[in-house]
Chains A and B, each alone.
Chain A
Amino acid sequence: MKYDKLVTNALGRTVPTIINGKPAVPYMGVGKYRPTGFKASTKIASCADYPEDGNKVVSSLKEALVKAGLKDGMCISTHHHFRNGDLVAVPVFDIAHELGVKDLMWLPSASFPCHEVLTKYLEDGTIDHLEGSMNGALGKFTSEGKMKGLGILRSHGGRYQSVQDGEVHIDIAVIAAPTADPFGNMNGVNGQTACGPLGFALADAQYAEKVIVVTDNLVPFPCIPWQINGNYVDYVVVMDKIGIAEKIVSGTTEITKSPDRLLLAEWSAQFCDEAGLIYDGFSFQAGAGGTALSIGIYFSDILRSRGWKARFARGGSNKYLVKMLEEGLVEYILDGQTFDLDGVRSMRDNPHHVMTTPFTSYNYHGKGNFSSLVDIVILGATEVDVNFNANVVTHSDGYLLHGIGGWMNTLFGKTVILPVPLFRDRNPVIRDRVTTLCGPGELIDVIVTERGIAINPLRTDLIEKMKNTSLPIRTIQELKEEAERICGVPEKPKFTDEIVAVVKWVDGTVIDSVYKIAR
């Protein structure tokens, strides 16, 4: 049973309470759901079963998978630190296919265009369904109802939470590591496919039944730094090439040249400044998009002119953030992923550039996490509704197109700002109702568009502080009307009533469903 027992959750969205045969809790509100019980556990291992000389190297990925007991219905996990340059996830499923294994569940931490070839294994039943992110062609495949099982979309923090809580049990984790030793210690900062941190693979190492490390840079013990310990690892595999370096550092990390987006960045920074959100010792979350990057440039100008510093910045890091660190405008980068080689170099060489993991930054079922400590969070969205609820996974035409990433987790920052165009070509971004609800409006504070800035009425403090600003403050309703005046009132996408995927909130509850597109 793909899904069953629909209910209406606290946001008025219809969601299933049985997903792929397992029970699920509907979203109850921010901070409302309290889990009970204990975290997941893995079997106790014994050194007696592992080589005394510490050499866990096996001859091939296939041998490792066979030794790990690959069989029908298992959950296989991979990480996305190699982004579109990943050469490991696809071969795993090629081997599964060759061995005639069926109904696997793939748990990537994100998917990229290089993974689109896997749709053939979704079609032939090698893979039953994905839990993670369904981008591009995989999103289209899912939206058209072609996936056998029900897709589950989670945030980076939600992925950690679900594995930790035992909602997802990983049978085999395949961890691509730019550098590793035969014992399985690994890091992402050295080697030809250096990608920075390996934090997205932490839950996999800690909780998977079997852990396979795949590297193209095997060094003698010890591999230093060991971002993830070999003590979690069963097998080490050496491949010629595990990633394509130039695709690992993706192209989305340049500052935007678009004058419209630069205006959004400028206004966002000006807003933060006038609202008193920037101060000596403040903190911010730097996004990877062109607009978010350029906000960093404006922040730099403000900090420099006043002799201030940010205490820390949360990455994704890139050359611009590294420059701020090196110039002394930021004291620490707490970094979950690096987007370019400057980021990798800095993490490797600068003790103030620190690797974080979804456990430290985002896991909602922990004793706190870093995301709520951040002063300013700048994010994107595909749609925002008049109650400030936002969507990041589907487009207005109804198709799944993006993963959630850390977006949902960072909403817990003190002030969350979404710089978004009022409309893209003829797609209005501000709507009566978002197609898919991924972020509750109560956590989203400011929408910055090129035709006006809307402050969430819940943030009376910000409204008060911006009373005399020269920036164009509008209500969100006014912005929506302006978009519709220019573009016309859009029709809603046509869906069938069949659910093809669900979106899980940071605490594992189901916040919304994604429906099959009507033909």
Chain B
Amino acid sequence: MAEISTTGNKGKGIRSDCFVTLELAAKGGINLQLESKVAVMYGESIKKQALEIMAFFGIEHANLRIEDQGALPLVLAARIEAAVKKLISTEKEYLTPLLDCNKSLTARDRNRFSRLYLPGNSPALMINAGIHHPDGIILDLEDAVAPEKKYEARFLVRNALRSIDFYGAERMVRINQGERGLEDLEYIVAHNVNLILLPKCESAGQVHAVNKKIEEFVHGTSYMVHPIWIMPIIESALGVINAYSIASSADNVVALAIGLEDYTADLGTRRTLEGKESFFARSMVVNAARAAGIQPIDSVFSDIGDMEALRQNVLNSKALGFDGMGCIHPRQINVIHEAFAPSSEEIEKAKKIVFAFHEAEKKGLGVVALGNKMIDPPVVKRALNTINLAVKMNKLAENWRESYEI
């Protein structure tokens, strides 16, 4: 094992993070050096926390240096613990407080219009993510984390799941591919993750492997067993072809997403604004998800400066049948919600149908009619969905029928 370990980030533009250097020593106690931009206000508390963690892991002699740019306690703890575990092998975990808000479970069919990607090793972006009210946040251990930072990111993501208030967003984690992804599970399963995103999914077997690992991990422990949903991401030609078997591979698969950057690369083409090249794949994903009774979710839109193009993109996506898409910037969230929300015309039309439906029910009629046109049951169902959604998104009062006039 290495003599010295380092974790965290430093340098220009780094905020709400710290850089930790740890060197074990044979004697001399804990020699703690702290440089902090919040030293005046939190210097003593940082030192106390650092020494507490050293004691927790039974480290008696070490040189510990912390270069702090205003890291919150959960971040300091993650950095120090990762530095310790790079040097010594231990089963112990230094867990930050589990907030009550992070004990919540999510419903299988909740809205997943927007899910905000947060790089798993960048605390500054995590802390305020929830204030923008995405439907979900994704703590990303995969592509957004450099290979040499993947180990330490797990501790940060774990602590974030426990100790950051995401203000009602569904707590998702994108794990790595393959074996590394299965190891990632050990850091998140016991910490109330709501949903796991499975990248580069090409077969039902990958979903089974994740579920098996979760079961093994939970088995024989006192960990709370709660539903952990899975959202496989289809990012290759093979994945597209196997979309239905992936979508229907397990009960806890609640959504199927598509990742277009990797998919178009796999096809040997490039992603365009128009999206002709991915039309087949997107339709396949929508179709497979619908066939399996789960939500189809679209890829991210990467031009964060162009909100009008994003809006068009979302409208296209909605027209293809998708129920949501990824975001890489908080400002995209409102645009996505607006565009996925039912439009005023859709709501007006749905109101007519739903009103007629209730009138028919009242009169004990088996058939819903608008004027002399009969309305099919699936149309009624869709109208009911539209109304529910409109109410949920504050676009329609819950008691709208009281004041409704034909």
Contacts and interface: CB of A to CB of B under 8 A. Distances in A.
Interface of A: 259-260, 262-263, 396-398, 424-427, 450-451, 470, 486-488, 490-491, 493-494
A205 to B, nearest CB: 42
B279 interface: no
Given A427-B38, A491-B40, A260 B128 contact: yes
Nearest to A491: B41
Given A259-B329, A260-B131, A425-B69, A494 B15 contact: no
B338 interface: no
A303 B86 CA distance: 58
Contacts of A425: 15-16, 37-38, 69-71
A260 B71 CA distance: 18
B181 interface: no
B329 to A, nearest CB: 7
Given A398-B40, A426-B16, A426-B41, 13 more contacts: A262-B331, A396-B40, A425-B16, A426-B38, A426-B70, A426-B71, A426-B72, A427-B41, A486-B72, A486-B165, A493-B40, A493-B41, A494-B40
B44 interface: yes
Contacts of B15: 425
Nearest to A424: B70
Interface string B304-330: 000000000000000000000000011
A132 to B, nearest CB: 26
Given A262-B331, A487-B72, A488-B73, A451 B131 contact: yes
Contacts of B16: 425-426
Nearest to A399: B40
A263 B72 contact: no
A280 to B, nearest CB: 26
Contact of B41 (A263, A396, A451, A486): A396
Given A262-B331, A426-B70, A426-B72, A490 B41 contact: yes
Nearest to A428: B41
Contact of A490 (B42, B69, B72, B132): B42
Contacts of B72: 426, 486-487
A427 B331 contact: no
Nearest to B124: A425
Contacts of A490: 38, 41-42
A493 B44 CA distance: 12
A360 to B, nearest CB: 39
A263 B329 CA distance: 13
B42 A491 contact: yes
A263 B131 contact: yes
A426 B38 CA distance: 7
A131 to B, nearest CB: 27
Interface string B113-144: 00000000000000110011000000000000
Contacts of A426: 16, 38, 41-42, 70-72
Nearest to B15: A425
B104 interface: no
Interface in B2-54: 15-16, 37-45
B394 interface: yes
Nearest to B75: A426
A263 B38 CA distance: 25
Most A CB contacts (10 A, CB to CB) among B16, B38, B127 go to B38
Most A CB contacts (10 A, CB to CB) among B39, B40, B128, B394 go to B40
17 contacts: A259-B329, A260-B128, A262-B331, A397-B40, A398-B40, A425-B37, A425-B38, A425-B70, A426-B72, A451-B131, A487-B42, A487-B72, A491-B40, A491-B42, A491-B43, A491-B44, A493-B40
Nearest to A488: B45
A494 B41 CA distance: 10
A259 B116 CA distance: 13
Nearest to B73: A488
B222 to A, nearest CB: 27
A488 B75 CA distance: 13
Contacts of B71: 425-426
A262 B330 CA distance: 10
A490 B40 CA distance: 8
A398 B329 CA distance: 35
A426 B15 CA distance: 9
Closest 6 pairs between A and B when the two form their complex, measured CB to CB? A425-B70, A490-B41, A259-B330, A397-B40, A426-B70, A450-B131
Interface in B323-350: 329-331
A450 B131 CA distance: 6
A438 B62 CA distance: 46
Contacts of A427: 38, 41, 70
A158 B123 CA distance: 43
B80 to A, nearest CB: 16
Interface in B157-214: 165
Nearest to B44: A491
Contacts of A488: 42, 45, 73
Nearest to A489: B45
Most B CB contacts (10 A, CB to CB) among A260, A398, A493 go to A260
A259 B70 contact: no
Contacts of A424: 70
Contacts of B44: 491
Contacts of A398: 40
B132 A259 contact: yes
A427 B69 CA distance: 11
A70 B260 CA distance: 73
Contacts of B38: 397, 425-427, 490
A214 B55 CA distance: 66
A132 B252 CA distance: 65
A233 to B, nearest CB: 46
Contacts of A450: 128, 131
Interface string B288-303: 0000000000000000
Most A CB contacts (10 A, CB to CB) among B45, B128, B329 go to B128
A391 to B, nearest CB: 14
A68 to B, nearest CB: 44
A486 B132 CA distance: 17
A424 B70 CA distance: 8
A398 B41 CA distance: 10
A259 B128 CA distance: 9
